[in-house]
Amino acid sequence: MQNEFPNYHKDIVIDGVSVAVGEEKQINLNIAKLPSRTSIDTPVFVYRSKEAGKTLLLIAGMHGDEINGVEIIRQLISKELIIPKRGTVIAIPLLNIYGFLNFSREVPDGKDINRSFPGSKDGSLASRVANAFTTEILPHIDLGLDFHTGGGRINNYSQIRCLTTEGQNEEYARAFSPHFIINSKLRDKSLRGLAQKMGKSILVYEGGESQRLNRAPIKEGMRGAVRLMHHLNMIDDEDLSKMRGAEQNLEPIILQKTSWMRAKFSGLFRSFVKNGSMIEEGQVIGSLTDPFGELHHDIICKQDCHIIAINHQAVVNQGDAIFHLGKTSI
């Protein structure tokens, strides 16, 4: 094991704070200051085993209104489920504190941190947050889990997104064992794209919707993180069993292509199918009506596919995304 990780016993240094093997520390990574001169610090939790192993990152709250991931990591920390027997875990429950305080996806300059990597220390606020993460955190890790939810009222069924053809991405995604694995292209200036260039795997977990705590995807995110740690030999069988349901390791459905079904008319939207279900070509999966009883439009699926997200907004405009569909073939 030592030969596999020759540099493991070197201290990890984050924002000038050293963490030696066998230590656990909370480091307050300074990002910037509010106009009131109040410092904005991002808590970073580091757990280092004395025994060598991989370094796993758990990060959430890159989009400040996506709360499920924050709760996933909070519970993992509170229940001491991510303390490794071998290797290191770096946990950041909330990266975008600005957005969290303002119930917003973005930082106050209106930019998306996950479209700002690698960032710049002299750039916009989003770019500075990305730069702090890129310089202080990313060099230390081997792989990571980035927790997200659907935006707006989009409710994502539990899923892992990664480029399955690169490195060990598919192996790690299968170890997490979500219901769906989506072969997802890299986005420009995203954390996942930057990490891939550096030879590091970042899996994106999507589950639930923004500004809500959704119990099922939170539990599934926790189970998946513990399963991945077990696969990486960071924890033992008895540690895995501490997370109820984590021992259940189902065969994921791998989706090669996804597309959005959009509203053809403005009006009241109703879904007739369950999120995560398999649907057939010709099946009526929802309806659009006006408020006055004059319009009724059945939403008919044109292909055999899986429902991977549903819009929970009751009133939609023409062109709004209402169903996210996934197929196992291109």
Per-residue pLDDT 10s for the chain (330 aa) are 557 898 999 999 999 999 999 999 999 998 888 788 888 899 999 999 999 999 999 999 999 999 999 999 999 999 999 999 999 999 999 999 999 999 999 999 899 999 999 999 999 999 999 999 999 999 999 999 999 999 889 999 999 999 999 999 999 999 999 999 999 999 999 999 999 999 999 999 999 999 999 999 999 999 999 999 999 999 999 999 999 999 887 899 999 999 999 999 999 999 999 999 999 999 999 999 999 999 999 999 999 999 999 999 999 999 999 999 999 997
Q: Are residues 272 and 198 in the same domain?
A: no
Q: Are residues 37 and 106 in the same domain?
A: yes
Where is the domain boundary, 237, 254, 271? 254
Q: Are residues 32 and 144 in the same domain?
A: yes
Q: Are residues 191 and 50 in the same domain?
A: yes
The pLDDT score that the predictor gives to residue 250 is 83
Where is the domain boundary, 232, 254, 276? 254
C-alpha–C-alpha distance, residues 117 and 304, integer Å: 37
Segments of the chain assigned E as strands = 12-14, 17-19, 24-33, 39-48, 55-60, 88-92, 143-150, 154-162, 180-183, 201-209, 253-255, 257-262, 267-271, 278-279, 284-289, 296-300, 305-311, 315-316, 321-327
The pLDDT score that the predictor gives to residue 229 is 98
Where is the domain boundary, 254, 271, 287? 254
Buried b vs exposed e over 213-223: b needs ≥16 C-beta within 10 Å? ebeebbbbbbb
Q: Are residues 283 and 179 in the same domain?
A: no
| Residue 285 structural domain | 257-327
Residue 14 CB partners (closer than 8 Å, separation 6+): 27, 29, 44, 46, 136, 137, 140
Query: How many structural domains does the chain have?
Result: 2
**Is 2 among the domain residues?**
no
pTM attached to this predicted model: 0.96
Q: Are residues 268 and 231 in the same domain?
A: no
Q: Are residues 317 and 209 in the same domain?
A: no
